[in-house]
Structure 1
Amino acid sequence: MDGIVDNEKRALRAELRERRQQRSAAALDTAAAGVREQLDRLVAEHAVRSMSCFLSTTTEPGTREFIAAAVARGIRVLLPITRADGLLDWAVAEQEGATAEGMFGMPEPVGELLSPDAVNDVDLLVIPAAAVDRSGMRLGWGRGYFDKTIGSMEKCPPVYAVIFDSELLDEVPSEVHDQPVTGVVTPTRTLVLHH
């Protein structure tokens, strides 16, 4: 059974990746502005003082404008750094923070490394996703970092996945280890998904 789900996930990820690569620069700029507006509102609603986010790649809904603005407002933003053991270290985002290519070619912050436990005291987790379904199940990119992080937290805060509007699906293939999210942030809206 797991092999079938694995193949379904792989096929869906490939299709979503291809769709993302076809977006124009203008569409990506518009999406980034929308994501910033939605995340600004979400952070205000939850009175967030400390949170996690991620440095978006060139094909993801942009988070970098939001991160810069949040740091400027005094919000402590933790950014993930991949480790070979499948866990995430964290670094505090800085106004003019340097980045480097991480283990899988993704942008990661350069700075003092904080342990995987550093994320335990945040008010909000904002994570990447390939797609999310209406029940809150998230399809990641297949490495399991965020599923492990969410699954290991004693007191998990609200978790929102950042996706494009078209990536909110009726259903995504899932397995036992996959962790649901509280909701999604898209360029046009923020939705709470009950699971």
Structure 2
Amino acid sequence: MPPPQAPRGAAAAAKLALRDQLLAARRRIPLPQLGDDARATARHLLATEEVRRAATVAAYVSVGREPGTSELLELLREAGKRVLVPLVLPDLDLDWATYEGPASLAPARRGLLEPLTPRLGPEAVATADAVLLPGLAVSSAGDRLGQGGGCYDRALGRVPVGTFTCVLLHDGELGVDVPVEPHDRRVTAAVSAAGVVRLG
């Protein structure tokens, strides 16, 4: 059963404060550790049954201090997966396109790298057998804290129930008391360098 929701204004303010705290902690992670953690996270994900069996995986191109996905994207392609990565639309919804290697990406707004391959439409995420997404923290029940744009909550609303939806995190970002608003969508798992944890 979902936790009681705080009044909208209170939840939004609590999320903002929590984001500031988590982003400050991420800035303190040493750069060599980011690379080591990204490799460990990729190994954990490729070992899960859901990712091993997936024909199509929706993922993302990491930026800044997010858990790194460069190696993960390449390993997914080498494993024969069709990999979808997002493009942010003007209304902050997500479109999707096929990832075909680093050369298929170009700088976009908001400091992101986005695919140059043909757009497949916002509904394309529903074709993914596994969805790997960014976040700043996740509660033990699967409540995810994002960057505040609501992009991934909309995308998750298109994903069939029962699909493996996993947030990539740094150690210490799992089991956080995440404020919940009506539009928030839960995820089924989280992964960090420590391993994969099933939620809910």
Question: CA-to-partner distance for each residue in 1:55-90, whole Å, 9 max, x for gaps?
Answer: 111311111101111112210000010001232111
Q: Which residue of 1 aligns with 2:31?
A: 25
Could you list the runs of 5+ residues in structure 1 that have no partner in the other structure? none
Q: Is the CA contact 2:144–2:186 (under 8 Å) kept in the aligned structure 1? A: yes
Q: Deviations over 1:14-66 (max 9, x none)?
A: 11111111111111011111111111112566511111001111311111101
Shift of 1:139: 0.5
Root-mean-square deviation (CA), in Å? Answer: 1.6
Describe the superposition over 1:142-189 as per-residue Cα deviations: whole angstroms up to 9, x where unpaired. 000110111133556110000012001341111111000001011111
| Cα distance between partner residues in 1 of 2:45 and 2:69 | 9
2:187 to 176, 181, 188: 181
State the distance in 1 between where 2:39 and 2:52 align: 20
Q: Does residue 83 in structure 1 map to residue 94 in structure 2? A: no
Does structure 2 conserve the Cα–Cα contact (< 8 Å) formed by 1:131 and 1:138? yes
Which residue does 2:21 correspond to in 1? 15
- Determine if the alignment matches structure 1 residue 147 to structure 2 residue 153: yes
2:199 match:
193
Q: Please give the alpha-carbon distance, in whole angstroms, between the structure 2 residues aligned to 1:124 and 1:52.
A: 6
Compute the displacement of 1:95 (Å). Answer: 2.8
Point out where structure 2 has 5 or more consecutive residues left out of the alignment: 1-6
**Correspondent of 1:119 among 111, 118, 125:** 125
Matched-pair contact (CA < 8 Å) for 1:129–1:141? yes
Say whether the 8 Å CA contact 1:184–1:193 is kept in structure 2: yes
Which range moves more in the overlay, 102-111 or 13-22?
Answer: 102-111
Give runs of ≥4 in structure 1 deviating > 6 Å.
none
The aligned residue for residue 102 of structure 1 is 108
Equivalenced residue count is 194
Shift of 1:109: 2.0
TM-score by length of 1: 0.93
Please say if 1:61 is aligned against 2:59: no
Q: Is the 8 A contact 2:50 2:164 kept in 1?
A: no
